[in-house]
Amino acid sequence: MDCSFIKKNLFAILENTLSADDRSETELHLKSCSECNHLLSGFLETMSVIDTDKSKEINPFMSTRIIQRIDSVVSSHVDKKQKEFLRLLQPIVFTFTLFLAVLIGFSLGKTGMNSISGKKSDVQGLQSLRSELFISDITDEDKTLFLNP
Amino acid sequence: MTDHELIEGLITNDRTAIHTLVDKYQKKIIKTAYYFLQNMEDAEDLSQDIFIDIIDSSQRFRKASTLSTWIYRITVNKSLNLIKKNKRNKIFHSLEDFFTPKPDNNDPTHREPTVTTSPFEENERREILNKAIQSLPENQKIAFILSKYEELSYKEIAEIMNISLSSVESLLHRAKLNLQKRLATHFSEYIKK
């Protein structure tokens, strides 16, 4: 066995997945090769950082920070939605008011026309009455003229 | 509270659901982000963004995968994005440093940072390992971290990465080969010195 086998099987040694023969040969080689010994110990120590990291505890107050951040974001979302709703509502209300105003204008106009046409008929009636009266006036006048010379 | 109830609660911004989500997943999210970023402050800050992302996109959660898998996926993606962003910032800062005048070394108040010469200091080992892991292709990096740090099964990794079991095996095998090659080169150089 040479040093290249160790270099190529560092993970297999770490995970203990070498065959029994390879394992015994590796052990023999490591006893005689200081370079491979250093290499393997360096590798194993470096990989032990993973276990140190795994046992690392997280900040116990982190959940409070997270909840606060979520609350602020959620409330800002709600505000945003409300603002968006108002922004959308504004033109709708404006259009509706305008439409209502036009509608009221039309209905008022219609009532006005009706009343004018009603008034017109009244005037016509009066005129015909007056003309009748006028005719009878004339006849009356004529009669008086005729009766009183 | 089941995952389904939790998701339904998150859609309606229910406070109980939000609290349950944070209690249940904060450790997992912060730790996974930390394994990728190798910086606890960054991981904690990122975890807040991840939770907000989960709540915001809860409507888009497809019940085909489990909630845990979905959360892992968001965490991994967000962590990788932050690494990319940090890299870009680093390049920008190095350019900025290049064009700004360097401090006068004759200044008596100026001190060079002390460098530890021992190769087995924990911080240095962490730096060596982190450099080696960060130099891996993205997929190999994800598979390696989820397998070695999170101790997830191949099946879980396959679901998170949306790949087949054999692809996970292959990615992990290649990741280990690359890592041991890089670490062996590093330590061999050190031994020669």
Give ipTM to 2 decimals. Answer: 0.76
* Residue from the list B55, B128, B188 with its beta carbon closest to the beta carbon of A39: B188
Which of B114 and B64 is assigned the larger pLDDT?
A: B64
B188 touches chain A (CB under 8 A): yes
Give the side-chain half-sphere CA count within 13 A for A116: 6
Quote the tokens at residue A43. Answer: 């590798």
pLDDT given for residue A136 in this prediction: 56
For A:1-40, CB contacts with B below 8 A are: 7-11, 35, 38-39
Over residues A89-117, the pLDDT tens digits come to 888 999 999 999 999 998 888 887 777 66
Q: What angle in degrees, to the nearest 10, is found between the helix axes of B165-192 and A34-54?
A: 130
Tell me the C-alpha to C-alpha distance, in Å, between residue B183 and each of A40, A49, A67, A91, B189: 10, 14, 41, 66, 10
Encode B75-141 in three state secondary structure.
Answer: HHHHHHHHHHHHHHHHHHHHHHHHHCCCCCCCCCCCCCCCCCCCCCCHHHHHHHHHHHHHCCCHHHH
CB contact under 8 A, A10 and B184: yes
Q: Which among A8, A45, A47 is the nearest to B120, CB-wise?
A: A45
Q: Which residue of A lies nearest to B147 if distances are taken between CA atoms?
A: A50
What pLDDT, on the 0 to 100 scale, is given for residue B113?
Answer: 39
Closest CB to A49 among B119, B125, B181: B125
Q: Which of A6, A18, A53 best probes binding to B when mutated, by most B CB atoms within 10 angstroms?
A: A53
Q: Do A58 and B119 count as a contact with CB atoms less than 8 A apart?
A: no
A45–B contact, CB cutoff 8 A: yes
When pLDDT is cut at 50, 70 and 90, the band that residue B64 belongs to is: confident
Q: What is the mean pLDDT of residues B93-114?
A: 55
A92 in contact with B at a CB cutoff of 8 Å? no
Helix B3-11 vs helix B15-37: crossing angle, to nearest 10: 100
pLDDT band at A38 (very low <50, low <70, confident <90, very high): confident
- Chain B, 102 to 131: residues with Cβ < 8 Å from chain A are 119-120, 122, 125-126, 128-129
Of B4, B5, B12, B1, nearest in space to B55 by CA: B12
Distance from CA of B124 to the nearest CA of A (A): 9
The amino acid that residue A92 corresponds to is I
Closest CA to B122 of B130, B114, B111: B130
